[in-house]
Structures are given as C-alpha cells and as structure tokens.
Structure 1
Amino acid sequence: MSAAGAKDAEKEADRIEPVLKRLWGQKKWDPKSVRAALLELGYEEERTGPKGERLGGTLTVRKMYPRYEIDHNVTPEGALIGLRVHDDACVTAFVQKTNFEVRTNGPFMESGCFEPPYGH
C-alpha cells in the first residue's frame, strides 16, 4: 500500500468505525442494516461484471464466512465489510454479536479487500 493510499484508507476507516460501533451497540449486525448505514455515508456498492471485472462502486457488505463446528458448517451472525479506497488500499471491517473491528490493508489477489477465509 502506498503512503497516500494508507493515509486515505485511515481517513475512511475513521468514518466507518463510529457507524459500526453504533450498530453494534444497537445489536444490528446483519448485512442489510450494515449496508444501509454505510451507504448513508455516501459510498456506492461495488458492482462486478460476469467475468469478475469491476464496473464501479467501492463498498461490499456480505455475510460472515461459514466455519466448521462439530459436524457441519455454521455461518455466524454478522457482516463483513470491504471498502476499496484506491487500487492499492482497502478498509476491511466486520461487526458481529461479540465485537467489531475496522482496519486498513492492501487488496488480496484472490479476494479483493476481503482477507481470504482459508489462508493466504
């Protein structure tokens, strides 16, 4: 991540964190509620074409990754957030029942702004 990208990503992270803190306090961590609150900040949902090409927008909010428990997969309540700030800078966040977190990072080759769920 470039120095300019890191600075801009930190600025966006500082905008997102109080929103997630408020939602967490209100026990609203479902992707629909999180997406609506972040769109109110002026972000636009990221759109992709049929071959995965980016068509515009910067924000992606989706459900948490499933995880294996005992004998089956379970998808925990909560939302994953990815905001593409520049081609080399992202804000990655989550909000769930137990906590929330906002951080900055560069994009991952395999999964864009989201950390790959099974190692990198």
Structure 2
Amino acid sequence: MPLPTSARRRPLAGAGLVLAASLTLTACGQVRAADPVAGGATSGSSPAAAPSASPSTGGTSPYVEPGAGDGAPHHHENNGHRQEGEMSPAHARDAQREADRVRPVLERLWKRKQWDPPAVRAALLELGYEEERVAPDGRRLGGTLTVRSMFPRYRDGGYVTPEGALVAVRVHDDACVSGFVQKSNYEVRATGPYPETGCFEPPYAH
C-alpha cells in the first residue's frame, strides 16, 4: 500500500537536517572523520593538521607559528637550537664590553683578507685571551677563547666548509661573545649561550 505523503517526506527532512548540521560544523572549522578534508588523514593525525577555511586567516598558512621569523611552518621547532640563553643584566654588559674589544680585531683582519682560523686565533690571543681548554668529559679546565673553522654547508650534493673563522669568547656561564669573519663580511655579538653549540652561533636548520 502506498505510504502517505507525510511519511514519504520524513526521510528527506531528516537528510536535510544532517546536511545542515554538517555545514554548521564545517563553518566552525571542526574536522570530522566523515569530512572529505580529513579523508586521507591517519588515525593519529591532529585536527590542527588540516587547513582552516576561516576567512580571518587572510591567506596566511594556519601552520605558521606566531612570531615565526620567516613565516615557515614549525619555525621555532626547527630552530630551537638557535634560541639564545638569557643573560643577567650585569653579565650582558660584561659580554658587550668584550664584544667591543673583539670587533676591531675582526674588522682589521677582514680588511686584510685574513680570515683563516690560525690568523684569527693569533690576533685575538694578543688581546690577552687564553684558549679554552675542555676535558674529554666536557668539563671546562680554563681559558675563554675558541676559534674554529666555519660550519660545513650542504652544496651540490655534498658538504663543504667555507673559508673563514668562527669566534667564541666565554665571558660567564650565561654570557658569551659570538662572532665570525669570512670573505663577504664579519660580525660580533654579545649573546647568551646556545643549547647545542655553546658560545658559537649555530647554523640554520634545513
């Protein structure tokens, strides 16, 4: 026997409610398992991994962390090794004073095109610094100055070490002088120590 007209309309009305609810959830930025956007995600994926359709983003990637210097995804996570330690105000002044002593030496060497580590080390030792000595277990045994070659860089399918020298002076446990001199330029800064490289400013992560 044919169903009454009102009964035939009920499934359609129910489907309309489901569709409306789905649109409402999508507008709020919620990602559900049945959402086509999340269809390719694994069970361990975070909802934050899906792009937001909210017009308030203004075209900015939702993955960019607040304050990311270059706007790259996970900037702070990838460059956490470049976060400087905090210096006390007094130790920061001491580090700046030492940086002001080192800067003219590196400037002079740069103008003379002398940026190999032995030449840089010899010039800085003339300021009265002593080379830092470290025991095999990592204990510091004395001295404050370390000069080394530049960090290797990946280029043309392999790692190469650029010409130049990295300079580090440990002023206090929480205060350093970090610098470099190379063909293109030189730099000297007072800084807190870095998590992985101590007083040497580390390279950017790839």
Identity of aligned residues (%): 69
Unaligned stretches of 5+ residues in structure 2: 1-86
Q: Which amino acid aligns with 2:147?
A: V
Kindly indicate which of the two structures has a greater share of residues assigned to strand: 1
Give, in angstroms, the shift of residue 115 of structure 1: 2.5
Confirm whether residue 84 of structure 1 aligns to residue 170 of structure 2.
yes
1:96 pairs with one of 182, 187, 190 = 182
Whole-Å separation in 2 of the counterparts to 1:17 and 1:93: 8
Whole-Å separation in 1 of the counterparts to 2:138 and 2:204: 20
Unaligned stretches of 5+ residues in structure 1: none
CA deviations over 1:53-105 (Å, ceiling 9, x no partner): 11100000000000001111110000000000111100000000000000011
TM-score, length of structure 1 as denominator length: 0.95
What's 1:14 paired with? 100
CA deviations over 1:21-80 (Å, ceiling 9, x no partner): 000000000000000000000000000001111110000000000000111111000000
Whole-Å separation in 2 of the counterparts to 1:86 and 1:19: 21
1:31 pairs with one of 106, 111, 117 = 117
TM-score, length of structure 2 as denominator length: 0.56
Give, in angstroms, the shift of residue 112 of structure 1: 1.1
Kindly indicate which of the two structures has a greater share of residues assigned to helix: 2
What's 2:126 paired with? 40
Bigger relative contact order, structure 1 or 2 (CA pairs below 8 A, ≥6 apart): 1
Give, in angstroms, the shift of residue 110 of structure 1: 1.8
Whole-Å separation in 2 of the counterparts to 1:117 and 1:19: 23
Across the two proteins, how many residue pairs are aligned to each other?
A: 119
Largest Rg, 1 or 2? 2
